[in-house]
Amino acid sequence: MQKHDQDYIRRKNKAAVFQMIRSSAPISRADIARTTKMSPTTISRIVQELKDQGFVKEMELQTASTPGRRAILLELDQTSVLTVGIELDRSKFKIGIVDFEGRMVFVGNVDRELVGTPDETLAQIGRELQAIIEQQKIDAKKIIGIGIGIPGLVDTKSGEVILSAQLGWSRINVVEKLKKITGYDVAIDNELKVKALAEHSYGAAKGSSRTALIGFGSGVGSALVINGEIYRGDTNSAGEIGHTIVDPNGVLCACGKIGCLQTYIAESSLISEANKVRPISSLDELFEERRQGQLWAATIIDRAIAFIGITIANVISMYNPSTVIVSGNLVEKYEEIRSIIERDELQQYVWEPLRDSYQLVLSNLGSNGVVIGASLLAQDTFLSIEI
Amino acid sequence: MQKHDQDYIRRKNKAAVFQMIRSSAPISRADIARTTKMSPTTISRIVQELKDQGFVKEMELQTASTPGRRAILLELDQTSVLTVGIELDRSKFKIGIVDFEGRMVFVGNVDRELVGTPDETLAQIGRELQAIIEQQKIDAKKIIGIGIGIPGLVDTKSGEVILSAQLGWSRINVVEKLKKITGYDVAIDNELKVKALAEHSYGAAKGSSRTALIGFGSGVGSALVINGEIYRGDTNSAGEIGHTIVDPNGVLCACGKIGCLQTYIAESSLISEANKVRPISSLDELFEERRQGQLWAATIIDRAIAFIGITIANVISMYNPSTVIVSGNLVEKYEEIRSIIERDELQQYVWEPLRDSYQLVLSNLGSNGVVIGASLLAQDTFLSIEI
């Protein structure tokens, strides 16, 4: 076999061993050999390289079954690599420093200077990140890159935000700008896509082979993760369920079409419906009206619940996922809706043959999901375990 | 490097070379080496093995640029392997004998004995296949297996038809039964999934990285092929768009839900709507009424066209495919609808940021798509190029 064939297989094998330790730690060399079907000699060589690079460390375990004998297990050295995860929203952003195993070392919320241009917002992010690194005494040398999650359409390759209604941005190259400001490598994606990745890796869908995440918040969106990989589609727009048509005789959407799902269930739509009856400025107020027995508020919320059911059903029909994660303010914050999801009471909307095909769960990383997912994206993009 | 690591890489390399010849033939050894980054020695060894097995043959080409010099190119020996593709429908079935490169050696239509049980239908298929092999003098030794495409939900692993409303079958293990009857290995899948595979491999979406196929016929369904692989979802039900909800205040569907896409656009729905006005027994009659200037027929057909637009738009939002293939009786058979698709006139239903993201085409294998796809499924499942 020629030299470059050997290098290729070496790299593949090393990546496989690394992924196995990452997903199944603590794990023994013998178990890795058994699962990957590689030879013990190969495993030992690769593990030694990963130890030399600082990514993997050994832990010794007293085995219960054979007293006196110690098993040596491998795990990631979670302090060896750090990434920065950023969630950018209309009125605030969130910065997290995340370790090798998806644990938050630090997380902070910052109000966005709303009057600012994209350049000013990104400069503000740069200043806040620098302050966090200094104040929290983070070892900056360990940071291998930044990941950022954005509401809207994102071109992950060029690094550009194509269109974000929430931020009011279009055609802004965030990756280029933020790299220039911070000096770190930057990766970007849609917020729901990285959230799905985080829930799949560390949250509610750990171990699921096909995870669909639906977000009900300022907009409606979905994301699909297949075997640990985000399904992007051709222009990274897969899962944009907010503009699927669910009522051809319905309401005109700001996008110019009639009957978009968005128009029935986005936060702003619910509030604008409520304002036809009474001046209401937040979902909190709308839910409070309902608790006070206001039937008009119940009517609006009941219709939203029906559309939550329809959204879940349509995602199940299209993606046939093993796990459906429901997330976002509308479902996480209000007990009335959360409990319906927890009891999976919306099955009437799901096509009968699929009713037993999925597991429905609430997101469990909650409001940290985007930050953790964005940092994971940075890890996947910038971590190099090459020979 | 240990022996079994080497065997693993040998198998992987051989599969890669085989796939390259299959997709890019005629191709030279040098080009394969360049693309796969394997060494010329490795390529030569693998090609020799594939030649010895009878899968690959050489063709000599006079090169235009260097007179007197001959290039030796590789291609599949298309006569070395045959598969049987079967499409089973309500009132008839179709049997095709397909060569190594997806070309139909023979195809025949047979009326299904409708009164028959599943066992009787499968026995009839067995008899017809045997007759075809004898009459067409097919070399039975070259047949490596049968693929069958079924309308409805199929468990590809167990070989069972879970539910087929069109056939009236539920929980029938077609693979087991047909294998027993014919003696050949049998693979099964949903008809639209294999059709998408065929269009992706040999038809309208050749070279597309993400192909969505939509079928408008006795039902509505869709399928997604990602990099040559069918996206199945967790229980092989992905793409069952017929029961997505597109009108919550709409019509009750036979499945028990309200507003399923199916109820607006399936053949039987259109015919039953037409019957509210005049006794009509086929789509042909309905379209004829419209051509005669009957406005009620125009109303029904126009609504169907709107729902075709909605279906295409929703598939694009969910899957973000590079190519959308539209197929099925309703669009292929009627010029009124075919021309609308060909001119891509339904863009008003597609979300604006996605309007330039896809290519919309009519299926080009037409009524042979399922047979070719099913035979391709058999090839993928049963062809062994192992060392």
Q: Answer whether B230's CB lies under 8 Å from B197's CB.
A: yes
Q: Answer whether B350's CB lies under 8 Å from B313's CB.
A: yes
Cβ <8 Å between A351 and B320: no
More confident residue, B65 or B91: B91
Q: Is the pLDDT confidence value at B5 over 80?
A: no
Q: What percent of chain A has pLDDT over 90?
A: 69
**Mean pLDDT over each residue of chain B, to the nearest integer:** 91
Using CB atoms, which residue from A37, A233, A313 is nearest to B210?
A233
Collapse the DSSP code of A346 into the 3-class scheme (helix H, G, I; strand E, B; otherwise coil) and give the result: coil
Cβ <8 Å between B241 and A349: no
pLDDT at B8: 74
Cβ <8 Å between B319 and A233: yes
pLDDT band at A68 (very low <50, low <70, confident <90, very high): low
User: Minimal Cα distance from A316: which residue of B?
Assistant: B238
Best B222, B245, B261 residue to mutate vs chain A (most A CBs within 10 Å): B245
List of residues 6+ apart from A104 with CB closer than 8 A: A96, A97, A98, A368, A371, A372
Determine the average pLDDT of the residues in A99-114: 87
Cβ <8 Å between A318 and B321: no
ipTM value for the complex = 0.86
Determine the average pLDDT of the residues in B345-352: 94
Q: What percent of chain B has pLDDT over 70?
A: 96
Strand ranges inside chain B, DSSP E: 27-28, 56-62, 70-76, 82-88, 92-99, 104-111, 143-150, 153-155, 160-164, 169-173, 186-190, 210-216, 220-226, 229-230, 323-327, 359-362
Element (H, E) at B30: helix B29-36
Beta bridge partner(s), residue A71:
A61
pLDDT band at A13 (very low <50, low <70, confident <90, very high): confident
Cβ <8 Å between B357 and A234: yes
pLDDT at A91: 85
Cβ <8 Å between B351 and A255: yes
Q: Is the pLDDT confidence value at B24 over 80?
A: yes
- The 10s digit of each residue's pLDDT in A136-173 is 999 988 999 999 999 999 999 999 999 998 899 999 99
What's the pTM value of the predicted model, to 2 decimals?
0.87
pLDDT band at A385 (very low <50, low <70, confident <90, very high): confident
- One-letter amino acid at B75 equals E
pLDDT at B366: 82
- The 10s digit of each residue's pLDDT in A118-136 is 999 999 999 999 999 999 9
pLDDT at B303: 94
Establish, for the pair of chains A and B, how many residue pairs have beta carbons separated by less than 8 Å.
Answer: 173
Q: Is the pLDDT confidence value at A315 over 70?
A: yes
Cis ω for the linkage preceding B67 (within 30 of 0): no
More confident residue, B372 or A75: B372
pLDDT at B64: 62
pLDDT band at A10 (very low <50, low <70, confident <90, very high): confident
Cβ <8 Å between B246 and A248: yes
- B221 CA to chain A: closest CA distance, Å? 10
Question: Angle at CA A58, nearest 5°, toward A56 and A59?
Answer: 135
Determine the average pLDDT of the residues in A179-199: 95
More confident residue, B114 or A200: A200
Determine the average pLDDT of the residues in B206-233: 92
Collapse the DSSP code of B200 into the 3-class scheme (helix H, G, I; strand E, B; otherwise coil) and give the result: helix
pLDDT at B22: 82
pLDDT at A79: 78
Least confident window among A105-114, A317-326, B286-295 = A105-114
Least confident window among A142-156, A202-216, A230-244, A266-280 = A202-216
Q: What percent of chain A has pLDDT over 70?
A: 96
Using CB atoms, which residue from A209, A234, A321 is nearest to B320?
A234
Determine the average pLDDT of the residues in B17-42: 88
Least confident window among A74-83, B58-67, B173-182 = B58-67
Dihedral over Cα of A157, A159, A163, A166: its sign:
positive
Phi-psi region of B120 (alpha: psi -120 to 50; beta: other; left: phi over 0): alpha
